Amino acid sequence: MSDTRVKATDSPPPPGLVTPRPQLRKPRSRPYALTVRALGPFALLGLWWAASATGLLTPDVLASPAEVLRAVGELWGNGQLPDALTTSLTRSGLGLLIGLAAGLTLGITTGFTRLGDELLDSSLQTLRTIPFLSLVPLFMVWFGINETAKILLIAVATTFPMYVSASSGVRNTDPKLVEAMRSFGMSRLAIVREVVLPGALPSLLAGLRLSMTLSVIALIAAEDINATAGIGYLMSQAQSYARTDILAVCILVYGLLGLTADILVRLLERVLMPWRTPQGARR
Amino acid sequence: MTENAHQQAAVRVRGLRRVFGTRAVLDGLELDIARGEFVALLGASGSGKTTLLRILGALDGADGGEVLVPEARTIVFQEPRLVPSKRVLANVTVALPRGRREDGLRALAEVGLERHADTWPATLSGGEAQRVALARALVREPELLLLDEPFAALDALTRLKMQDLVDELCRRHRPAVLLVTHDVEEAVRLADRVAVLRDGKLVTDEKVTVARPRDPGDAAFAALRRRLLDDLGVPAASHPVRTPELDRVGVI
């Protein structure tokens, strides 16, 4: 077809010209990515094990991984750990659910309606800056030493991250899109449900992530005060007997809860937002 | 510029291959562009013309063949791609060393937007934003200017004005230009040479001999347009050759 040009192939390259060098992302195999991801936790575990084995870390400071593993077996065997987990997860789950619902409702209201923004935002921003730990004594006075106080504390703590994320996510909705949907006769409620919320999902999920982390932190604070069951109770008991192995188990459980929450949100991201390209923006 | 310098190559592509999955989008493509030459590349959508431009602009890799381009090259994309958090002038001088403010202002003046230097990109119209993108490309004094359907998103009137502006600026700065487009009229109006990309190769590659200023009513213009449409696989019936009278009616 263009054989007249083929002869030119042998001529030396013209001066001043270069071959373009694109910066491309190399495709990675899944096993490789998983290995890299697992590297950090395993390095930490190795460090801990090495420190215990060499005697750098004595059992009265922190038990060795093997002892901790044994403590897990013991606690699981006598049913203490499953019981504590069930109690704690119920508390943080209920609290989180209430907090998320409140944060989402308030966030959408202030983000989508001007009246809501003017009426609620400044007071919510004020309340947001109050450390929830300072509410512990007050809640004890109000609700007494029972489950309600604990669940409400977790609910209050998780409301605000969700509120901030939801309102900013809703506020970032493309006004042109809303205008277009309005012109097709879509009701305000339908716009929120079908356009605003799906558009705000990335920041809603970021809020969910923050709230989930905070629910665990609030759980510790709530269980630290006069609990008779749960992980926090297990911890305070272990503390009084100086059982560093059980303490380590409890800390690891908290860590694993956080990790599970993270995996859950990542999964939700994939399930709830199928329209997003799998690789996202190129880094 | 001397005639000799004109003949020097700005782009040399030999046996270029690019494969997506099992489909070879570019398959043994050959292309030469001389310094200061304006080449328009036509092709149906999906024919790989943007892929070729992205390879020349180092945004995409090749799977085989030789590609040579000048060091100084810039791209104008189909969308303006201005950074919304930078003012217009900052967008023009983006990623340049400090102290190029004057050059940026001069480039903005060339596209007629010097008064908009301190405004935000979001306040510009589509045509204005694309002119800023053009100024951003020209302020770098490119030896190769890559235009990726830069007028496709503009309305018809703005498009005509933009074409004239690009024509004038390219004549003044004389970069080698590769214009990727699917608009045959636009290609014939602007280019020194037109090429048609089909099945991974250039099936047409010829000099545009229509006298300037180029008028779509010119017989030579219409004949070349018809030939290019044939190469693109558009049958004659759906594209009657327009008469000058009809064109004038259309503009009014």
Nearest to B69 among A1, A18, A24 (CB): A18
Shortest CA gap B6–chain A (Å): 13
Q: Does B67 touch chain A (CB under 8 A)?
A: yes
Query: At residue B246, does pLDDT exceed 70?
Result: no
Write down the pLDDT at residue A95.
Answer: 95
Which residues on B lie below 8 Å from A18 (Cβ)? 68-71
CB contact under 8 A, B71 and A5: no
pLDDT at A93 over 80: yes
Closest by CA position to B228, among listed B179, B176, B183: B183
Task: Report if residue B42 sits inside a domain.
Answer: yes
ipTM field: 0.70
Q: Is residue B211 part of a domain?
A: yes
B13 and A CB contact within 8 Å: no
Q: Answer yes or no: are the C-beta atoms of B13 and B67 closer than 8 Å.
A: yes
Residues in chain A: 283
Answer whether residue B248 is part of any domain: no
Query: Touching check for B202 and chain A: CB below 8 Å?
Result: yes
Residue B193 lies in a domain: yes
Q: Is residue B104 part of a domain?
A: no
Distance of CA A205 to the CA centre of its chain: 8
Residues of chain B with C-beta less than 8 angstroms from the C-beta of A22: 55, 58-61
What is the mean pLDDT of the segment spanning B103-109?
A: 95
For residue range A195-247, list pLDDT tens digits in order.
899 989 999 999 999 999 899 888 888 887 777 888 888 888 888 888 889 99
Query: Which of A4, A9, A10, A17 is the best substitution to test chain B (most B C-beta atoms within 10 A)?
Result: A17
Give the Cα separation of A142 and A153 in Å (integer): 12
CA–CA separation, A281 and A275 (whole Å): 14
Distance of CA B109 to the CA centre of its chain: 21
State mean pLDDT over A132-147: 86
Total domains in chain B come to: 1
**Chain B positions in Cβ-Cβ contact with residue A9 (cut-off 8 Å):** 14-15, 66
Residue B35 lies in a domain: yes
Interface test with A, best of B16, B68, B144, B205 (most A CBs within 10 A): B68
Of A5, A13, A19, which is closest to B30 when you measure between CB atoms? A5
Tokens encoding A34: 């998983």
Contact B203 A1 (CB under 8 A): yes
The pLDDT score that the predictor gives to residue A61 is 85
Locate all alpha helices (DSSP H) within A78-196, ordered by sequence: 80-112, 114-128, 136-143, 147-171, 175-183, 188-191
pLDDT at A270: 84
Is A2 close to B57, i.e. CB distance below 8 A? no
Assign A215 to helix, strand or coil.
Answer: helix
Q: What is the mean pLDDT of residues B75-79?
A: 92
Full 3-state SS string of chain B: CCHHHHHCEEEEEEEEEEEECCEEEEEEEEEEEECCCEEEEECCCCCCHHHHHHHHCCCCCCCEEEEEEECCEEEECCCCCCCCCCCHHHHHCCCCCCCCHHHHHHHHHHCCCHHHCCCCHHHCCHHHHHHHHHHHHHCCCCCEEEEECCCCCCCHHHHHHHHHHHHHHHHHHCCEEEEEECCHHHHHHHCCEEEEEECCEEEEEEECCCCCCCCCCCHHHHHHHHHHHHHCCCCHHHCCCCCHHHHHHHHC
pLDDT of the residue at A2: 42
pLDDT tens-place string over residues A12-55: 777 888 888 888 777 788 899 889 988 998 999 999 999 999 98
CATH number at residue B58: 3.40.50.300
By C-alpha distance, the chain B residue nearest A12 is: B12
Tally of CB atoms within 10 A around A199: 17
Hey, are the CB atoms on B203 and A22 less than 8 Å from each other? no
CB contact (8 A) between residue A1 and residue B14:
no
pLDDT confidence bin for B242, thresholds 50/70/90: low
Domain annotation covers residue B47: yes
Q: A281 pLDDT band (50/70/90 cuts)?
A: very low
CB B191 within 8 A of CB B239: no
Range B131-147 average pLDDT: 94
Residue B128 lies in a domain: no
Average pLDDT, chain A: 86
Chain B: closest CA distance from residue A7 (Å): 11
- Cα of B212 to nearest chain A Cα, Å: 28
Residues A23-27: contacts with CB within 8 Å, 24+ apart?
A23/B58, A24/B60, A24/B61, A25/A282, A25/A283
Q: Note down the domain range covering B217.
A: 8-72+177-233
